[in-house]
A and B are shown apart, each in its own frame.
Chain A
Amino acid sequence: MSPLDISPQRGDAGDGIGGRPPRIDGLAKIRGEAAYAMDQPVEGLAHAVLVTATIAAGWVRGIDRTAAEAAPGVLLVLTPGNTPPLHAASTWTGEAPPTSEYRPLEPEIRHVGQQIALVVAESLEQATEAATLLRVDYEAAPFLADFTVPDAGEGQDLPPLTIERGDADTALASADIRISAEYGTPREYNVPIEPHGLTARWDGDALTLWEPSQWLDGMARNYAEWFGIGFEQVRLISPYIGGGFGSKALALPHGAIAAQAARMLGRPVKLVLTRPQTFTAFGGRAATRQLLELGADADGHLLAIRHRGWQETSRNGLWVEPLNAATALMYEVPHLSSRQRVVPVNTVTPSAKRAPGENPSAFALECAMDELAYALGQDPLALRLRNEPGRDPHSGKLWSSRRMREAYAAGADSFGWARRNPTPGAMRDGPLRLGWGMAAGTYPVRRSAGEAMVRILADGGVEVASSTSDMGTGAYTILAQTAASVFGLPLARVRVTLGDSTLPRAPVSGGSQMAGLMTGAVDKAARAAREELIGLALNDPRSPLRGVANTLAVAEGRLIAPRGEAPPLPIAELLTAIGRDRVEALRDTLAENGLKPEDRYRAFTTVSTMRAPTDGEYSMHSWCAHFVELAVDEALGSVRLRRIVTAFDAGLLYNPRLAESQIKGGIVMGIGQALLEGGIVDRRHARVLNNNLADYLLPTHADIPPIEVISVGEPDPHASALGGKGVGELGIVGLAAAIANAVFHATGKRVRDLPITLADLC
């Protein structure tokens, strides 16, 4: 079940931090033995199916449950009319709820797909059929289908995102060269292949949840508050997560109603969203629009950027996708004006999808830089180098590290950028026009506190435990490597247990922060355990090393006297000698993050103590440069990628093999964003029509070209304990712009609304 007993091959750079060992959870995954939440065998399970609204706004006047309740095997039918309220929970940012009650089934409808009933039956087949038998009486109300409909208006200003640096309007007016363009991104969905779902079981007042989770502590807190029980009474178990990309960090309404049903029934209940329901039960990336004006002098020095952004949110929730996240950061610009507005419409509240903010921000900015390069008659890469900022132009702080020039150089060199003919349409391969495009990306270093237990066992092996989770990031492996480094052990001697809310605390695995902060926590705990071990070896009366040496080192599972005063002593022998079965240390990194012990609960169960990238002396970010070659069939408009080279600076890579995989994964998702993905809204009904995997197009194998990724990072001691910066989100940032720029280079057509399809290019 857990990857504890796996012996991976030794990596080519060793098993410690910076080595390339294969995933230690890999064997369980390739054997089909890794038990994801929905794979857990639970005795006495009942199966639930969610019923969702088919109107966009209005009220459920009533639901006739008669036929459903009479259907074979049906155990319970929950509707707004027969479901007791829960307690309202505080938000993930730590704010108190505005109301005292939370109703997971509400009569008021605010979007298509909102959950309105739950049917529980003995079998999944029975629940599925019975769910079709409910008769819902609606009272429909007017709605706003999306932010393009005239009635949606301009929305509300978001003052915290306003930036006024210098005088952008005046600077633009006097600029030699100006470009102005509007860029759009559609609703994009996370679409992990594992659908959201859970099994909930009550034992008295204790609630056990098997649910995929990017944030066990945060979700456990939310469930505890909903049900008015203690945090310790909730146990959330999520050893493996079938992808999340931001969508599995929060407790969601379907979780509330499933747990509610389990409590009412006195039986464990399993609810898995259908694939179509995954498009409306939680939000993906908000649709966005950005108006960008860039002004430069004739040499290509940026003088001013004027940026206006609009994004969707829901009628009953505010999600902010910060559209100037990259705009304010990437280039040396004396004058910047940025405003953002948020437009409420009848949709599910949007949420985090890989690189919220940076992703759409970089799409617009990096396309605009390409447009400016053409307006100037300059090479797009040269234009970027000309405007490379020496320090963070927004905060004024020095970069902790910004190896952007190195990334440009390494990427351009490997790609062969110097051979590019800049004239659109000039590079050809038979009937195909080739496009070479590039763009840059960035993602901030976010920091929270972490906590880990490291335990030295009597057999000399080491255990690491934390409630953090591994959704494919490689957490199991890099945390094992961290401990292996401290003890000089082969990876096979390190066991890692994650994904259980009863383990030591961890904050959200989001914002690309997990690896940096959890390796720090494990390193700290491991060093503490090592110190205690050495102390015992030096001081315990039964220790063979007592009085032999003044200091000891630990390597290869042994205690070593530095001047050879005694033969190396295996840890196991020491523990036997001193009569201990373990030496363990539980450590957190609250203090390093400026927190106190009383901040502990808040630090791990909300994001209220997460530190900004400029909190401290430096401005800290990861960086990347993408280079893309594609071919466009001029007559038919089809775009096929040929190769991608991405050079990136994410500081030290704890395990380059796994980090490279994640960067490539971000690139693949960026390919989908650029060419395939987007929610298609029928505005007559405010309904996303392509709510399935045949119509919402994810990239397939055939869409993906060879991808080369090059790390140019060096350890950044300011960014994290071991010198790494964020990896998980970086690869997607700027990729869509590189593709759009390559499409322009191939065709001379500037497509500013994603995705770029046949209809745009034929």
Chain B
Amino acid sequence: MSQDIETIIRTLLSDVLGLSSEQVSALHNDSALFGAIPELDSMAVAGLLTELEDRLDITIDDDEVDGELFTTFGSLVGFAETKGAA
């Protein structure tokens, strides 16, 4: 399941940020996202959250969203795994 969520998030980042498949597959747990990827602005964050909800069939409350969530690829996957398992 964890592998699936990671794959879903790689695809999601590619769809929303227009990253190439090479860029997306090079992401590892410590890869920085917010601040490191110029395409990741507030509108992109909003789009990512809504798509994440649709693709994982989860609901994300706005108060769960803080700066930490998009710090690294690992933190985003970790959050999605916790939500997906709940």
Are A and B co-members of a single complex?
no
